[in-house]
Amino acid sequence: MRFVVNNVPVELVDVAADMTLLRYLRSQQNLMGTKEGCASGDCGACTVLVGRQGADAMVYEAVNACICPLGSLQDCHIVTVEGLTPAPGVMHPVQAAMVECHGSQCGFCTPGFVMSLAGLQLAAGNELAKADEDTQRAAVIDAISGNLCRCTGYRPIIAAGLFVLKEASLKEASLKKTTLKKPAQTARFVQNWVPNAPLAGTGGAPADTHNRNLSDGASGYWQPHTEIELQQLLVEYPHARLVAGGTDLMLEVTQQYKNLPQLIDLNRIESLSEILIGSDEIVLGAAANYSALEKTLAELAPEFVALLKRLGSRQIRNRGTLGGNICNASPIADAPPYLLVMDAELELVNSKGGSRRELLAHFYRNYKQTSLAADEYLARIRIARARLAQPLKLFKITKRYEDDISAVMGAFCWSGATTNEFKIAFGGMAAIPKRASVTEQFLTGSNWCVSGDVDEGILAQACELLRSEFSPLSDVRASAAYRMAMACNLLKKACYEFAAEAFGKVTEARLFHHA
């Protein structure tokens, strides 16, 4: 396979399918600036930028190298902290700002933060330069949401991020602050990099090169470019695992030390990462990553996008996909409750090219079991536009606000005062993400709300029904009793807001804007 690390092109013939980018950088490139703090995607010490050819320029995103399969990086530009420094003695503006603001103490987390902030500056620096401070601060915090620091308490790191964004707005007059180089310099450095071979992914290359075994004999990493190729691979390698973002799958390698000898990567199949906005429905490619969904759905599905801002971290969202979230079949995954109340429909395709449609509600069979056949993959997720237009409330309960797995995830959809129909689903309340059908039926058509006033008695009865419908477990994230209490209170919260909004009353301010 072929990619570029900093500005050195690399050709590899012999690489294990489950080799992670972090292990490769540290053990084979001697790039020791990228650190391992957890090997599970949680700490961000391993953050690097991965650049891909976009429509008109390279597009860089921060990713967790520790759980990123190297095989997925064919034709990519990998920038590590060493690659940010164009020459000895010169610092990237983010590096200079981190020094200036006293943003490092033990320094172990620092390269990861530098990369996350450099990623922000590359992706949105110019645009954010003109924004107000609240917007800038939110952007900085979002960019470092996947970076843990145990020493500094983050304040100086946030200050460094803001400093860089502000500097960009002072481009012309920036000579005063001589310690900082203009951000444009680095942007130019990175963007001037031209791969010495044409980038693939634009279609047209013959299938055999894509299907070429990128790895050593016993194992293989395949990156098909079309669904047809994918189907062929499913026939040829019935034991291969599918990998999209790898943010669930790769933990088997880094936490359980498993070998994954055969991997088929879904990232390069355009038809699986497309997001189509039709007049009747939206069709989400199963391999579209969360960051792409956030961008595309901001107007159409604001509540869902707000929820995504709390799913994992920026680094995780740059890799993780909806398809992975659904197929991993975790009862505490965040997207399924939303998709359940949307009556989302899955398009499942098998190795012979045959496809079937199934409601997500029917897809989950039992704990971690789905209706997905061994030779099937999830291709697309469909949501009706009509459903998207209905009032919706999503709430995620966690110990920590950012980058935490749900104790309870509640999704509530109400069709409005006239039809008065409820759809309710929970994550974390059962062995699978599950609709509260009994409670839904009870509330649908009920007098739970009379001209904006909520009938507490009816809500209390609804909660009784919830209690009969669910029997959650106690675990490291929450007790069963708290989960149950939250299911009830989130329902109430949703109802208060539905009622107030429907009748133009003031809703009580929320503690958090997102979910």
Partner 1 sequence: MRRIVVNAELSPAANTGNAPGGVGHSIAHESAHKHVRGTAEYVDDLPLLPGTLFVATGQSAKPHARIRAIDLSAVKSASGVIDVIVQSDIPGKVDVGPVYLGDPLLAGDLVEFIGQAIFAVAATSFEAAQRAAVLAKIEYEELPAQLTIEDSLTAQSFVLPQHQLLLGDPDASIETAPHQLSGEIFVRGQEHFYLEGQISEARLTEDGGIHVISSTQHPTEIQKLVAEVLAIPLHLVVAEVRRMGGGFGGKETQAAPLACIAALFAQRNRRPVRYRMPRRDDMIQTGKRHDFLNRWRVGFNREGKLLGVDLQLAGKCGYSPDLSEGIVDRAMFHADNAYFLNSARILGLRCKTHTVSNTAFRGFGGPKGMMAVETFLEDIARQLGMDPLDVRKANLYQPGADETPYGQKIEQHVLPILIERLEKSSDYRARRIAITEFNNTHRHLKKGIALTPVKFGISFTAKHLNQAGALLQIYTDGSLLINHGGTEMGQGLYTKIQQIVASAFGVSVNRVMVSSTRTDKVPNTSPTAASSGTDLNGMAAKDACDQIKADLVSFACEHFNLAPAQIIFKNDLVILGENQLDFPAFIKLAYINRVALSATGHYRTPKIHYDRATAKGQPFLYFANGAAVSEVTLDCLTGEYKVDQVDILHDVGKSLNPAIDIGQIEGGFIQGMGWLTTEELLWDEQGRVISNSPANYKIPTAFDVPEIFNIELFDEPNLENTIHLSKAVGEPPLMLAISVWAALRDACSSTTNYQFSPRLDTPATPERIYWALQDCVAFNKTAAVKPGTTEEDFNVTT
Residues near ligand FES, by CB under 6 A: 36-39, 41-46, 64, 66, 104-110, 149-152
What is the DSSP annotation of 250-272?
A: THHHHTT-----EEEE-TT-HHH
Closest separation in Å from C-beta 70 to ligand FES: 14
* 371 interacts with partner 1 by CB under 8 A: no
SS3 201: coil
Answer whether 203's CB lies under 8 Å from 319's CB: no
CA triple 262-264-270, angle to 5 deg: 170
Gyration radius (Cα) of the chain, Å: 24
| Binding partner of residue 46 among ligand FES, partner 1, ligand FAD, none, CB cut-off 5 to 8 Å per kind | ligand FES
| Binding partner of residue 316 among partner 1, ligand FES, ligand FAD, none, CB cut-off 5 to 8 Å per kind | ligand FAD
| Binding partner of residue 66 among ligand FES, partner 1, ligand FAD, none, CB cut-off 5 to 8 Å per kind | ligand FES
Chain CA centroid to CA 37, Å: 20
Closest separation in Å from C-beta 281 to partner 1: 33
Answer whether 33's CB lies under 8 Å from 85's CB: no
Binding residues for ligand FAD restricted to 337-396, rule: CB under 6 A: 377-378
Answer whether 190's CB lies under 8 Å from 128's CB: no
By beta carbon distance, the residue nearest ligand FAD is 324
- Whichever of 78 and 264 has its CB closer to ligand FES, that residue is 78
* 45 interacts with partner 1 by CB under 8 A: yes
Closest separation in Å from C-beta 132 to partner 1: 11
Among 156, 245, 324, 472, binds partner 1 (CB under 8 A): 156
CA triple 27-242-336, angle to 5 deg: 115
Q: What are phi and psi of 412, to 5 degrees?
A: -135, 125
* 515 interacts with partner 1 by CB under 8 A: no
Distance CA 367, CA 365 (A): 7
Closest separation in Å from C-beta 144 to partner 1: 5
Strand order, beta sheet including 58-64: 8-11, 2-5, 77-79, 47-53, 58-64
Q: Residue holding tokens 């069963």?
A: 480
Binding residues for ligand FAD restricted to 308-347, rule: CB under 6 A: 311-312, 316, 319-321, 323-325, 327-328, 333-334
Binding residues for partner 1 restricted to 441-480, rule: CB under 8 A: 456, 459, 463, 475-479
Residue ranges binding ligand FAD (CB under 6 A): 40-42, 241-249, 266, 286-287, 311-312, 316, 319-321, 323-325, 327-328, 333-334, 377-378, 403, 405
